[in-house]
Structure 1
């Protein structure tokens, strides 16, 4: 695992022994307020609770995780909750942890802020809570609009390039 930066947020704890091959040593912060998920994980998780987060609706999914809008009962606000299924293998857990540590260490206006990283109290579901960004996704905009004017393209690409440059420098 490469260096992430000199300071990690307090809610992210690095491996103490440097062994990045063991999923048992992921050191995610455990939140004691949740209850075990019930039923089939592949089903809609709306109205389920993971740690301090009450899931409100599914926003989308990728190759290994699903993102939900959830209500943070401690902070009193909606968040984006990226949830890894309990069936995730060790390699996926390690990549998920690396993503959490990397994103948690970055501070930039065009990079989504990580709020908390954890594992549900029963240890069955890993998650990353992030700031919820409202609005249309870039993918949706590009599907809706076949062609963008040069000025529109530049106004979209400039903050993306700045965020990528910041991430690579840190």
Structure 2
């Protein structure tokens, strides 16, 4: 074990130099290349190879080739520029419109659901205990009732969206 530690310590500067030389061309960090080579060394079936310096250079180049291959074939995730949507009045207006639409939908729910969902949407953010006290019901029955009321709201909103959405094309229509 002591011999292995000495060999690893002797290889560390060489690995750092080789990885630093290959990393820019591979499009990865030098530390990533170093780590990949150390893992490759640990997975080597014979332990430390007979010619460790030559093996190390070859391993760095092989890992650099793999990294180049990955960067050429992986497509970056292109997200919408969030900064454009985070500033200005638009996000506030859209959030207010969503809240208004939700509260209007809650007012159209059956009578047993309206007070529960109104309390759940309250800016005071009451606890289940406070909601149960306000509605005069047990705290244990709030969960099932909440699930039923949210299901009703979900179905109602889905039906409204279906009315607004254009009809789906069927059959051989052009």
Q: Quick check: TM above 0.5?
A: no
**Structure 2 length normalisation: TM-score?**
0.22
Structure with the higher fraction of residues in strand conformation:
1
**Structure 1 length normalisation: TM-score?**
0.23
Structure with the higher fraction of residues in helix conformation:
2
Greater Cα radius of gyration, structure 1 or 2: 2
Using CA pairs under 8 Å that are at least 6 residues apart, name the structure with larger relative contact order, 1 or 2: 1
